[in-house]
Amino acid sequence: MLNILIVGNGQCGNRILDAINREAFGKKSRLAKFYSQQKYKSNVQTIAINTAVNDLKEMKFTKAKDRIHIPHLHGVGANRNVGKHVFEDNKTHIMRQIEERGNFDVCFVITSASGGTGSSFTPMLVKELKEKYDFPVYAVVVLPFREEGTLYLQNAAFCLRDIRESGADGIILADNQFLKQMGGNVESAYNGINDMVARRLLFLLDALDSEMMMVTDLGDFKTVMSGGAGLATIGFYEADTDMPVRSAIQKALSPSGLLFSSDVYKEASRAMVIIRGDKERLSIDEISTEVEKLSSSVGHVFKGIIVRDGELPQVLAVLTLESASELENLYSIAVDAIKYERDKKERVATVKDVDRAFSQIDGMDPSY
């Protein structure tokens, strides 16, 4: 049995963590958190951390004892410098909360790259965890909609770099911009994206701790994640009634199955493909053909098969990337955003029009 720690930092991290707990509790009632047992096979501990108490209160499926409020007025206002100070001041408290939960084999830290709390806490938390413990730590990072503004873009660029430098064993990317075709308003897009990330992570945990027909385990996952440029993404597809497993694999690897835009046949470096379903539906020939097709262009592919009676075929693919053209695009617009913010700051510092306007009433009082 694996001991797994999942931390959700900031609003986005908290919400994805809550979606994970909802799935794990089996979508019962709002009261699930008070009485029900999680369905995890592994020993999974979840911790939500935030400076904004309202984000923590919003969580419906995560136990109160697992929601850690770090007081700082009303959050850190997308300012990563403030966030870093707040983390530093509360580091001992946060690390104690983790220590009290025992020993772990693997940890996932979920955050958005672009806000204030999660984006500043995550690299620092990963660094602390890596200094203190031996287990691998993976960051699950949500990238912003590109039109969300200059501060979010610059935060995303610096946050990703900080996480890479923190000693994280890998970064799994999910991209709001790429996934927004889920449609609807922002809130339903968020919920849809959060559910996608949650389902994939739970499937992965299930697979790492499973009696499989063909086994993949935490060791294989670590090998996959150590390939490429330290960046990864996850594909998933659930077949409908008549779909052959071959098509489900192709769909999980196609852009529409991925959390981050990539042509995996060109950009992936290592992969792990896990297929779960009723034995009748899992043609070993079809599975082998598709896996060989992938390995001929990316190199090594680990393959796992989990037999579940009566289940339609579901496919999960973890892929590390050796290049990521979409990330280069993000960085080029982030550079513009950083320059824009810097120029604006310089302008504010030199042009004192507003001060000049105010100075006209220096020494005067209103008369009524």
Give least dist CB 111 to ligand GDP, A.
6
Site for ligand GDP in 134-173 (CB under 6 A): 142, 144-145, 148, 152
Figure out which of the listed residues 17, 32, 38, 75 binds ligand GDP, where binding follows CB under 6 A.
Answer: 75
CA distance 127 to 352: 41
Burial 202-215 (b: 16+ CB within 10 A, else e): bbbbbbbbbebeee
Give least dist CB 201 to ligand GDP, A.
13
Beta-strand relationship, 268-277 and 314-321: antiparallel
Query: Taking Cα atoms as reference points, which of 178, 171, 274 lies closest to residue 232?
Result: 171
Which positions from 33 to 62 touch ligand GDP by CB under 6 A, shown as an x/- string?
Answer: -------------------x----------
Q: Which residues contact 6 (CB under 8 A, 6 or more apart)?
A: 17, 20, 44, 45, 46, 47, 107, 108, 109, 110, 201
Figure out which of the listed residues 8, 116, 123, 228 binds ligand GDP, where binding follows CB under 6 A.
Answer: 116
3-state secondary structure (DSSP) of residue 41: coil
* Phi and psi based region of residue 46 (left: phi greater than 0; alpha: psi -120 to 50; beta: remaining): beta
Give least dist CB 273 to ligand GDP, A.
25
CA distance 324 to 218: 25
Judged by beta carbon, residue 188 or residue 359, the one nearer ligand GDP is: 188
Residue 194 counted as an annotated binding residue = yes
Judged by beta carbon, residue 62 or residue 112, the one nearer ligand GDP is: 112
Query: Taking Cα atoms as reference points, which of 158, 161, 185, 160 lies closest to residue 175?
Result: 160
Stretch that binds ligand GDP, among 5-13, 250-258, 279-287, 352-360 (CB under 6 A): 5-13
Judged by beta carbon, residue 8 or residue 313, the one nearer ligand GDP is: 8
Site for ligand GDP in 186-225 (CB under 6 A): 190, 193-194
Which residues belong to the annotated binding site for GTP?
11-15, 116-118, 148, 176, 194
For ligand GDP, the binding residues (CB under 6 A) are: 10-12, 15, 52, 75, 112, 114-119, 142, 144-145, 148, 152, 176, 190, 193-194
